[in-house]
A and B are shown apart, each in its own frame.
Chain A
Amino acid sequence: MIQKPDASPIPIGRVVATELKPATPHQFHFWTANETTVGIGAIVKVQEAGSGEQGEGRVVYGVVTDGFAYSDLATPLHDVVGAEGDPARAADAPTVRQEIRLWTAAVLRQEPEEPLQPVPIARVFVANDADIARALRMDAYLHNAQPTAIPVGLYTSGGLESPVYLDADFLLGPEAAHLNISGVSGLATKTSAVEFLLASIFQHFPKHRGKVAAVCFNVKGSDLCFLDQSGALDEEDRRRYARLGVTAGPFDKVRYYAPLKADGVNLNTLRTHPDLVGDVEPLVWGLSEVLDFAEVLLNRDDIDAKADAFIDFLADRVLNKDFEDPLVGHHRVQTFADLEALFRAIFDGLELHGRGSDSWRTHHIATIRKVRNRLSNVSTRCKGLVTDDGPSNDLPWGAIEDRAVYVIDIANVDPLGQDLVFARVVSQMREHLERRDLGVDAVVVFVDELNKYAPGDGPDTYVRKMLLDISERGRYLGLVLFGAEQFRSQVHRRVVGNAATQVFGRMDMDELATPGYQVLSPATKIKLATLPVGELMVRHPHFTQPIFVRFPRPAVLRGRDGMERFPFTPDLPFPDAVARQLVHLDRAIRPNVVKDLVADRDQDDVRRALAATRRARPADPLAYFRKALGSRVAPEAPRERRGVPPLKPISEEPY
């Protein structure tokens, strides 16, 4: 993929150094012809001519960070005088003034690296593929015995283009990890960039580094709903794919998960077209799954020792156990419905037999009421995700597939539910990665809208703590955060600061005026503010300066195009939705048979039977469903409750 250098390159400029603008070990200036291909972001090579015994001279690679043009005009007034005050005549002058194109470049690498010296006054060349690899220190991971290079895009300048690679060890761990991408909405192509990069990772992540998968949270629209469908590419995109050595195509293995709607049978996703909806697995959790993450459900004011103690009591002593109490009698709590029955029994018991007491088992009735209120609130606000009474359906923990994308569509879920999904999914991954039984060695977690989930200010939510935890410790586990946001300055600084790879799309000028961008030159900021779609600025530990790259459009169907090709299908009536789900399990099933079967039946019974059938995946789904519907569906066998390890206290030390 790296092309051979030209035999005799032609210099395009020359380093100049004056007392006012000297060359330093980190910066130099050079001039070019007025008609030049050099621009902001261009990578150049300074080649000092060798002399005598010194052989080849010093070689310096630099990236252009600023440009200046000026003429020999002493003052603007002289131009006015020359044109006799008429701008039209100024352009008619018989001679064009002498002009200069003067460029400032930041040093990327010097060879030899020691002793570090000012950049020599020497000829400047356009960097070729090999030069780019050396300038960006990619040679260390591109040409060794076990390469770890992941194509991220093409560096382009003046008709030349070279692949730019990230180091997998610094993108996915263990040396460093995480990627953060910022940019204004719509133009910054954040999602497209992540889609392309995931495809690149899946194709280039070295086998000797193990297995990798991605979990993407779709938090808005239909951005990630069609990753398994081919998108339109033009010839230029295909050429770029070929240059980068990435095969253009949709993802081979995509698994979709979405909560159900309140009716318990229609999926809460935009991927509802009949041709596609069958691939979407319902994401349904019961009381056990929710209670593990009670902290997510309680807002900051709720968190007190009393509520915490009562929730612990429920989890330890009541949940999935035969619970006997003189006041409330016998209870076996496995569902929200069971829990509600327990609460009702407690209140009734205290009212009828409490003899004026306002405590039950040392828990004050107000605390019990608060916990009940919060938990029932969840089952109301997240109805469809959280089932009152029925089995759960979760991601295949322990059997996550290599090079597969798991899309969890929570775009239309209540914010509380989004937090719950995020907290639970990430916790499960962390837990399994710690035990090395997830099925893969590394998982990329893509979270958009980090402004919302990990804000720099605002309440210290459980989700933000989790994101901080991933940022600071994830690389040791193989839990890698790919975060995206509009305004990097508004995301928690330790979340963005821990991202070893930083990517920037088109930026808002107000955002660029914030302190986080002070290291960028004014010209680089202007370029960032006007970046075209498909171009990004990348910072990576191996690159000493930000590099601009272009990437091809992802070869998957964009959300908007997907919605045109696979339009949203309105919710089906209850019997039709049930029939559709069963037909998906067995295409031989006739919908009318199902509709007749569920007619006049209690919808809760139907939902339970459907969930049981879905979970069992029997050889004859219709028969299984009919049998399940005929009697009370046995509740799911209680799983052994494994407490989620608490998050380690996070140091307030800056990263």
Chain B
Amino acid sequence: MRSWVDAIVAAGVVPASYIPESSLGRPDEDVVPAELVEGDALRAYALPDGAVTPAPVSFLDGIQHWKVVGHAGATPVVRAHVAGAVRRRGPDRRLRTAAERSRELAITHLAALPAAARRALEQSGVDVVDLPASELGQPSRLLRAARVRVDRAREAVERELAEECVARLGPHEWLVVDGLLSDSKVLAEHPRALGVIKSHGTQFFSGDDLELALTLPEKHRTSVFRPQSHQHQRVYSWYLRMWPWEGSDVLYGLVRIEARAHADTLGAAGAISAWLVRERAPVSTPDARFDRLLYPIHDVETYLRSRAPRDLLPAFAPRLPRTGS
């Protein structure tokens, strides 16, 4: 099949090759109140010894890559690739792909495209996301809008995969998701699904409680609490320090865990935390987020990257004019 990018370029779109800065940042929530469900005050708990790692465990993660591949006038045309995969770890401690899914998207303001380019896009069969005219303007404005659509597409792929995966989980099998569990009702209610959140844009505590959470010693967890977000499903959560932060920064090695909002979770939080700390090894270097990134999640990401379209990955070469060949 001829590339839809070639088709729209042939139809009059000016070719481009530009990968937007990843530092646009994710849209963060601000402050979300939390209800303490373990004890009457936020505390730091040392993790129990003798952690048991369940088997098998499935790990889910997703990736997204996007790139400006053309300009119709001043309107950019974005090509995006989103993908997710579940890699299952069995008794042999090796990870194998259990499920994967990917989508390719064309994101632009369709009305800005020449008619021939629009036709070419429609005929290519690619999923087209038409941005409303209200989001047009400077390229950065449209790119921000495109970025939101890419995020949503990836989250949708991850959610679909995760819900399919938990439906097939064995009686003792766990699913660990990179990110929020609370995005899906199915996940949020599953007894053996966990969300591991590495970014801490949302603030649940303030004052002494915030300080306690951010200065947790290594191999400690906080009390379990319930985020009171209206946008998400009801889950229980707690902070967990994977690596000592002293000498680094307060977020170093700090993850937030999400699990089913159920009384059993309170009893299991210590054991689950101890298990997750065991996942420090192998270290997921050379990823810069290795202090919070579980190796199996890193492995899923590596797997997905290896299968992503090569032309969407950041190139080391400068954007020099192309030669004739």
Contact = CB atoms under 8 A, between A and B. Distances in A.
Nearest to B55: A94
A79 B89 contact: no
Contacts of A97: 282, 295
Contact of B89 (A83, A84, A94): A94
A652 interface: no
Contacts of B286: 74
A649 B68 CA distance: 79
Contact of A90 (B53, B94, B278, B281): B281
B246 to A, nearest CB: 15
A95 B92 contact: no
A101 to B, nearest CB: 14
Given A72-B302, A74-B286, A95 B280 contact: no
Contacts, number: 53
B285 A94 contact: no
A90 B282 CA distance: 8
A91 to B, nearest CB: 10
A78 interface: yes
B92 A82 contact: no
A95 B285 contact: no
B279 interface: yes
Contact of B278 (A73, A74, A75, A94): A94
Contacts of A83: 281
Interface string A60-88: 00000000000011110011011110000
Contact of B280 (A73, A82, A98): A82
Contacts of A95: 89, 93-95, 279, 282, 295-296, 299
B283 interface: yes
Nearest to A84: B281
Task: Output the residue of B57, B295, B296, B299 with the most chain A CB within 10 A.
Answer: B295
Contact of B299 (A78, A82, A98): A98
Contacts of A79: 282-283
A87 to B, nearest CB: 12
B93 A94 contact: yes
B281 A89 contact: yes
A93 interface: yes
B145 to A, nearest CB: 36
Task: Output the residue of A79, A89, A94 with the most chain B CB within 10 A.
Answer: A94
Contacts of A72: 302
Interface residues of A, number: 19
Contact of B282 (A73, A75, A84): A73
B93 A96 contact: yes
Contacts of A84: 281
A74 B92 CA distance: 23
Nearest to B51: A94
A66 B59 CA distance: 35
Nearest to B285: A74
Contacts of B285: 73-75, 78
A581 to B, nearest CB: 73
A94 B302 contact: no
B187 to A, nearest CB: 22
A581 B280 CA distance: 86
Interface in A85-144: 89-90, 92-98
A504 B118 CA distance: 70
A82 B283 contact: yes
Interface string B89-100: 100111100000
Nearest to B94: A96
A92 B275 CA distance: 12
Interface in B271-313: 278-283, 285-286, 295-296, 299, 302
A89 B280 CA distance: 12
Contact of A98 (B57, B89, B283, B302): B302
B250 to A, nearest CB: 20
Contact of A93 (B92, B282, B299): B282
A79 B302 CA distance: 19
A82 B242 CA distance: 11
Task: Output the residue of A73, A92, A96 with the most chain B CB within 10 A.
Answer: A96
B96 to A, nearest CB: 11
A93 B296 CA distance: 11
A81 to B, nearest CB: 6
A72 B285 CA distance: 8
Nearest to A99: B94
A158 B285 CA distance: 35
Contacts of A73: 282, 285
A78 B299 CA distance: 16
B97 to A, nearest CB: 12
A35 B296 CA distance: 21
A398 B84 CA distance: 84
Nearest to B92: A96
Contacts of B282: 73, 78-79, 82, 93, 95, 97
A112 to B, nearest CB: 26
A92 B93 CA distance: 10
A72 to B, nearest CB: 7
A82 B281 contact: yes
A356 to B, nearest CB: 101
Nearest to A90: B281
Nearest to B276: A94
Contacts of B281: 82-84, 89-90, 92-94
A646 B285 CA distance: 75
B283 A81 contact: yes
Contact of B279 (A74, A81, A94, A96): A94
Task: Output the residue of A75, A79, A93 with the most chain B CB within 10 A.
Answer: A93
B212 to A, nearest CB: 25
Contacts of B283: 78-79, 81-82
A78 B92 CA distance: 22
A456 B261 CA distance: 85
Contacts of B95: 95-96, 98
A82 B278 CA distance: 9
Given A94-B279, A95-B89, A96-B93, 16 more contacts: A73-B282, A75-B285, A78-B283, A78-B285, A79-B283, A89-B281, A93-B278, A94-B53, A94-B278, A95-B279, A95-B282, A95-B296, A96-B92, A96-B95, A98-B95, A98-B302
Interface of B: 53, 57, 89, 92-95, 278-283, 285-286, 295-296, 299, 302
Shortest beta-carbon contacts, A-B, top 9: A82-B281, A93-B281, A74-B285, A82-B283, A74-B286, A94-B53, A96-B93, A78-B283, A78-B285
14 contacts: A73-B285, A78-B282, A78-B285, A79-B282, A82-B282, A92-B281, A94-B93, A95-B94, A95-B282, A95-B296, A95-B299, A96-B94, A97-B295, A98-B302
